[in-house]
Amino acid sequence: MARTIRRLEISDHADVNALCATLEEHDYVPDAFPQWADSKDSEPVGVFEGKELIGIVTLNLVPDSDIAWVNGLRVKADYHRKGVGSFATAHIIALAKQKGVRTLWYSTGSNNEASIGLAKKMGFVVADRVGYFRVDKPFPPHPSPSPNLHPLTVGPERLSEMLKDDSELVESKTLPLAWDFDFKTLAGLRRMAAETEFKVLIDEDGRSSGLYYSKAFVREDGTRITFSIFSRDQATFVDIMSRAFDDLENTGADRGVFFLSPKAKDWALSLGVVPGEYLNSSYFLFQLDPSKTVPRGRISPRSR
């Protein structure tokens, strides 16, 4: 049967929900879809076999930049490994190229082999990698935060200066914020500051020894708070974890989700707070410059 691809509208919402229901539980895509269908910065597209929606993906442009995200790639369970995901992604890459995007981002967990395989096949390369784990309540016992470390809330301008003076605290070019990333530049930090508050821990000598920030999500299955944590030393990391667990307990959250610099992930392992299934988990930022891709004219979904 012929496969086609077109922009999705809000009237496709029920079909989007039905497709997602064939995959993991508590997917965020059904809730995010109405906003994508409505936004001038979003291009949700669907692959159809006849009238049946079998694949979806959205291009989300980051306003006032040449950055965009590939979000919510989903292929109906019965149609996996038949070229639908690559077909949808090739379309999104071509769309991004038309719109002048130079940085196309796609993020996924290290345990999602299909997603990683697809990203690599489509020409994406790993641009950043952070440690990842989540902890559900009841949260583990933890020491009280140290009175010798002082959290200071800083704006993007101040943080940008701090990170320039101190390239060791954050070694990568990007920073994670929940399941997204942004550049460590002033423009990137300003975008992130619209969604979070940066906290820098200052030690007794007045040096910045750690950076952390959080973002909360209220979903049908409970409230989760995501934390991004960078630290110069293990003691500061342990202190930030105590502050994070205090926040989780004080706000009545159900789950904490942690995105950590590679060093911090090792320290979390030694703290014993990482559940077994996340011992080797990380979270990847994949990147591609659509202007440098050669159009793949003959990409079409294979029928197997």
Ligand X SMILES: CC(C)(COP(=O)(O)OP(=O)(O)OC[C@H]1O[C@@H](n2cnc3c(N)ncnc32)[C@H](O)[C@@H]1OP(=O)(O)O)[C@@H](O)C(=O)NCCC(=O)NCCS
The residues of the shown chain that bind ligand X, judged by CB under 6 A, are 23, 73-75, 80-86, 108, 112-115, 117-118, 121
Gap between the Cα atoms of 242 and 109, Å rounded = 25
| Residue with Cβ nearer ligand X (85 or 156) | 85
Take residue 32 and report the two structure tokens written for it. 């995010």
Q: Report, in Å, the least distance between residue 302 CB and ligand X.
A: 8
| Residue with Cβ nearer ligand X (230 or 284) | 284
| Residue with Cβ nearer ligand X (14 or 23) | 23
Residue in 85, 72, 65 with CA at minimum distance from that of residue 8: 72
Q: Report, in Å, the least distance between residue 251 CB and ligand X.
A: 27
Q: Which residue is nearest to ligand X (CB)?
A: 85
Which residue in this structure is represented by tokens 């390369």? 125
| Residue with Cβ nearer ligand X (69 or 267) | 69
Distances (CA, A) of 151 to 30, 201, 289: 37, 4, 38
Q: Report, in Å, the least distance between residue 16 CB and ligand X.
A: 13
Q: Report, in Å, the least distance between residue 114 CB and ligand X.
A: 3
Gap between the Cα atoms of 93 and 102, Å rounded = 10
Which residue in this structure is represented by tokens 């096949």? 121
What are the start-end ranges of the E strands in 232-276? 255-260
- Please tell me whether residue 261 adopts helix, strand or coil conformation: coil
> What sign for the dihedral angle of Cα 125, 25, 139, 274?
negative
Q: Report, in Å, the least distance between residue 185 CB and ligand X.
A: 25
| Residue with Cβ nearer ligand X (121 or 207) | 121
